[in-house]
Structure 1
Amino acid sequence: MGHTTVYLTALKVRPERIEDLERILDLRARGFSTLEDFAAALQEELPHLKDVFVPEGVGVFLNSVEPYLDEEGHLYLGTVENGGWREEALLLSHFVEPGEVIALADDHESLYGYRVVREGEVEALKGALVNEKGEVVWTE
C-alpha cells in the first residue's frame, strides 16, 4: 500500500537537457515492471547521466500517470504513485533550472517541496503561508 503524490507545477527544463528528457519519456513508454529495470535502462541509454539514475529517483517518471514535455520546455509530472521523495528531486535537479521549486502535495503532507539549488543539490521546503496574491510563501 503506497501513497499518491501530486506534482503541482510544471518545471522549466534546462535547454541542454530537453533531448535527454525526451529520451527518458520515450524509454518510459516501452514499459518496465520495476524501478531497478528502468534505472538500468536509463543508465545504459544516457551514460553521461548514469550516476543520477537510481531506482528511488526514477519513479518520478515511471510511476507518473502521464508525464509530458510541452513545446515550451516545461515538464508536467502530475500524479505519481509512491512519489515525492528527495531522491526524485535530486534526479530532477539535473534537468530543471536552478531556483525551480518542485511543489508537492500528498497523503502525508499538505504542501511541501524542494528548491533546486544546482545539479545534485536541493533544499527541502514546507509551505508556510499564502500571501495576498495567493502565492505560497515557503519556509526552510
Structure 2
Amino acid sequence: MEELSELLIQVVEDGASIGFLPPMELADAMDYWEDVLTPEVILFVAKRNNRIIGSIQLHLCSKQNGMHRAEIAKLMTHPHYRRNGIGRQLMEKAENRAAREGRTLIVLDTREGDDSNNLYNSLGYIQAGKIPGYAKSANGEMSATIFYYKRIEESI
C-alpha cells in the first residue's frame, strides 16, 4: 500500500489528471488505496528493481446490463519511467484480462491534451465524445475530458 501511495503522490505532483490535486498527503493516498480495491477492481502493477513504477485498474461492471463491459482507470507511470512502454504494457495486460473475463467493451476517459490520448489512439480506442470543463487542474484551470471506447472481441 505504501508503494502504491507513493506512486499516486508522484503522478499527482507531476500534474496527472486522475481525480486528485497536489499537494497530496500520504494519508489521503493510503485512504484511497484502502477504499478502491474491491472484487470488481483488478489492479495491475509494473515493477522495476522490486519497486512499483506503474499501475492500472480494470473495473468490471457488475450491473446486470453491463456484464459485457469494463472501465480502465488510473493508468499511472512514475514520472522517471515514462516513455518506456510501461503504460502500453499495462493497457495490454488490462485488455487481455478483460477479454478473459468475457468483457467485450472497454471504456475510459482522460484529460484533453494529455500524452495518454496518443497512447489510447495508438491502441485502437475510439473517441466517443468530449465534455468541456470536466476537471480542475492544480492551477485552477478547467480542462475537457475525452471519453474513449474499444470493442475487444475483434482485437484480442
Report the TM-score when normalising by structure 1.
0.31
Higher RCO, 1 or 2 (CA under 8 Å, sep at least 6)? 1
- Larger Rg over CA atoms: 2
Greater share of strand: 2
Report the TM-score when normalising by structure 2.
0.29
